[in-house]
Structures are given as structure tokens and as C-alpha cells.
């Protein structure tokens, strides 16, 4: 069972991510034994929401947007990386490709995976698997959703 916290101020993006991850039973395998894992998505509508939720449960992965009101994604990433309790959690940024500076800062602060918006369901799943397996990567923006599109590993 992998628990994922999705921090995003857009409810539709949260719903999209939930649909992409929860509708893929057994998609996520972790570790060498390749046991299929269930995914549970928990939604946070703001940085503050995330701060409220983090101490209340264990998460394997936090997926966060950068541009959010009040507490931005960068501040959240730093908070997680500096806290005793959540330091080990995998961190993934979903943000627009164009905000180069934000991306660079996010990675410098210790995010493991960067996924550019807009992304396809496949790209998202791949990025999540990467992050849950403790690796880091950056995924470039993909064409709008189409069947069978695969994200490009590495990025601009």
C-alpha cells in the first residue's frame, strides 16, 4: 500500500491525479519482490492543508504544485526535507515547463522527480513509480492526453 499526498490548489487536477493513480490497481510494484501495491491518494487543497495532513499519517510520496497561494510548493518541499519526521518521504513536483527557475529551485531543495504539466496519465504513473522506487528523474511536458503516449525521460 502506497500512500500519496497530492498538494494542488486545483480540485480538477487533484481529481485527475486521483483517477490516474487509483484506477491502476497493481500498477505499482516496489522493491525486488515486485509485489503489486495498492495506491491511496490523499488530497490537500493548499500548502496549509498539507501541513495539517502530514503529521496525521505516514506518506510514501508527496506530489506538489509549485505555484500556490500563501505557502508555495518550494516552501513545502523545504519544510518536508528539514523536518525530522518526514525527511525520507519521496517528493515530486508537478509544475509548468516554462517556470525554469521554479523547477531548478525545487530540485535544489531536494525534490526527487519533476513532472511538467500538462502530463498524460501514463507519464504521471511512470513518474510516480520512479519516485516510489527512490529514484529521481525529470519528465518533460507531453502532448495533450492521447493514447499510448510515453513521457520522455530526462528533460530540457
Partner 1 sequence: MTTESERAREEFFSEAQEIVEGLGRDLLALDEAQKSGHVDPDLINDVFRAVHTLKGLAGLFGATRMSTLSHELEELLDDLRMGRVELSPPVLDLLFRSVELYGRILQIEKEGREQPMPELDQLLRLLHRGTTGASGTASPGPIIDPSLLAVLTEYEETRLRTNIAQGLGLYRLRVRFQLATIDQGLDELKATAKPYGEIITYLPTGAGDDADSIELDILMASRASAETLRGALAHLGVDVEELPRQPTIPQAVPPPPMPSTPARPSSHPTPAPPPMSPLRAELDTTGAHVAFPRGAGGGDTSASIPPKAQDLGTIRSVAQTVRVDIHKLDILMNFVGELSIVRTSLERVLDKMRDAHTDRELALNLHRLQRDFERHISSLRRGILEVRMVPLGQVFDKLARVARQLSREADKQVNLVITGAETEVDKLIVEELSDPLMHMMRNAIDHGIESRTRREEVGKPAIGTIALNAFQKGNHVVIEIEDDGRGFDTERLVEGAIRRGVISPDEARTMSRREILNLAFVPGLSTKTDVSELSGRGVGMDVVKTNIAKLGGVIDLQSESGIGTKVTVTLPITLAIISALIVKVSDQQFAIPLANVQEAVWLDVDAVRVIDGRDAVTLRGSTLQICYLARLFGLSEQVEAPGVGGFGDIDAPMTHQPQMSAPMRAQRRNSGAFGREYSAAFPYRPAHGTSAARGGGRVARPRRKFVVVTAVGTRRLGLVVDSLVGEQDVVTKPLGPSLKNITVFAGATELPDQRIALVLDAPALVEEMFANADRTRMTHGGPHGF
Binding flag, residue 38, partner 1 (CB under 8 A): no
Only segment of 14-22, 31-39, 127-135 that touches partner 1 (CB under 8 A): 14-22
- Express the helix, strand and coil content of the chain in percent, nearest 5 each: 35, 25, 40
Please answer whether residues 39 and 19 qualify as being in contact, where contact means their C-beta atoms are separated by less than 8 angstroms.
no
- Compute the least distance from the CB of residue 13 to partner 1, in Å: 6
- Compute the least distance from the CB of residue 100 to partner 1, in Å: 4
- Compute the least distance from the CB of residue 35 to partner 1, in Å: 23
Using alpha carbons, list the distances in angstroms from residue 102 to 70, 105, 107: 16, 5, 9
Binding mask 51-90 for partner 1 (x = CB under 8 A): xx--xx---------xx-xxxx-xxx-xx--xxxx-----
Strand partners, 2: 39
Query: How many residues contact partner 1, by CB under 8 A?
Result: 64
Binding flag, residue 100, partner 1 (CB under 8 A): yes
Counts for the chain of helices (H) and strands (E), in that order: 5, 8
Amino acid at each position: 500500500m502506497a500512500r500519496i499526498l497530492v498538494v494542488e490548489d486545483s480540485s480538477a487536477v487533484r481529481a485527475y491525479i486521483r483517477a490516474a493513480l487509483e484506477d491502476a490497481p497493481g500498477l505499482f510494484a516496489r522493491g525486488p519482490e515486485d509485489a503489486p501495491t495498492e495506491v491511496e491518494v490523499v488530497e490537500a487543497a493548499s500548502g496549509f492543508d498539507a501541513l495539517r495532513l502530514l503529521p496525521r499519517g505516514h506518506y510514501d510520496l508527496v506530489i506538489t504544485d509549485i505555484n500556490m497561494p500563501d505557502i508555495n510548493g518550494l516552501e513545502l518541499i523545504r519544510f518536508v526535507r528539514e523536518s525530522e519526521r518526514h525527511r525520507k518521504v519521496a517528493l515530486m513536483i508537478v509544475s509548468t515547463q516554462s517556470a525554469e527557475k521554479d523547477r531548478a529551485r525545487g530540485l535544489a531543495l531536494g525534490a526527487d522527480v519533476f513532472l511538467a504539466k500538462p502530463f498524460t496519465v501514463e507519464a504521471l504513473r511512470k513518474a510516480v513509480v520512479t519516485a516510489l522506487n527512490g529514484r529521481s528523474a525529470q519528465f518533460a511536458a507531453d502532448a495533450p492526453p492521447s493514447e499510448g503516449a510515453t513521457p520522455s525521460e530526462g528533460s530540457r
